[in-house]
Each structure stands twice: as C-alpha cells, then as structure tokens.
Amino acid sequence: MTRKANPPRKSQTTVALLDAYNRLRDGKGTATNGKLSITNVAREAGVSRATAYRCSKLLALLDEAPKPPKAKPQITSGKAELRNVINQLLNRIIMLEAALEAKEAEIRQLRSMLPKPGAASS
C-alpha cells in the first residue's frame, strides 16, 4: 500500500493565498470589501496577515498590481456650504413661526369658548 504524501503546509497556504489574490483581482471576493490589499487577501484565504506577509509570491504580485489612481479631494467652497445651512435654518424658522401662529390662533379660539369670569353658572 503506497501512501500519497500530503503537500507541505507552506505550499497549501501559498496556494490558498494566491487563489484568494486571484479572486479579489477578478472582483469575486466573498469575505472582504473587494479591495486588493494584503489584509483582504489574508482574510479571503483564511490565514493571518503575518502569514500573508511571509508569502514572497503574494508580495511580488501585490507590488506588480496596478494601483488605483488617488482621487483628488473635491474642494468645496465653505461659503456655499454655509449659505446652504443658513437657508435651511431660515426655512425651518419660517415653518416654526407658521406653526406657532396656528397654535396661538387655536388657543385664542379655545379661550373664547371658556365662560367669562364672573358669569353666572347655571
């Protein structure tokens, strides 16, 4: 009876890491947010980050992978944002004043229904 030798653990881990890298590269990751990073590759492969950092083949692939362009921060005018907030607050004040006037009118109407002080009760 011949026994088939199990591949060493290191090569199994390397295969798992490279498979995880390929899944993420192809946009088919299941255990992460899909970003191609060493942390996500490790998570996808089910190994620790330390193990992933020891895999020279994976590190070489990640070094060669095209980097996404960095997004330029959008410069927004602070004055425009401030103006927008002020307009929202002014609209809220107008709505609250209208609601207050309606409530005051309701209170006046209810008070007019009350008997006058000193009026004889039957």
Average pLDDT over the chain, rounded to whole?
A: 83
Q: How far apart are CA 24 and CA 18, in angstroms?
A: 10
Residues 17 and 59 in one domain: yes
Would 48 be classed as within a structural domain? yes
Q: Which residue would you say has higher pLDDT here, 111 or 26? A: 111
Structure tokens at 21: 């890298």
Structure tokens at 3: 């026994």
Q: How confident is the model at residue 88 (pLDDT cuts 50, 70, 90)?
A: very high
CA distances from 122 to 111, 115, 116, 119 (A): 20, 11, 13, 10
Asked if residue 4 has pLDDT above 60, the reply is: no
Asked if residue 119 has pLDDT above 80, the reply is: no
Would 106 be classed as within a structural domain? yes
Q: How confident is the model at residue 121 (pLDDT cuts 50, 70, 90)?
A: low
Would 49 be classed as within a structural domain? yes
Domain range for 36: 12-64
Residues 111 and 85 in one domain: yes
Residues 60 and 99 in one domain: no
As for how many domains the chain has, the answer is 2
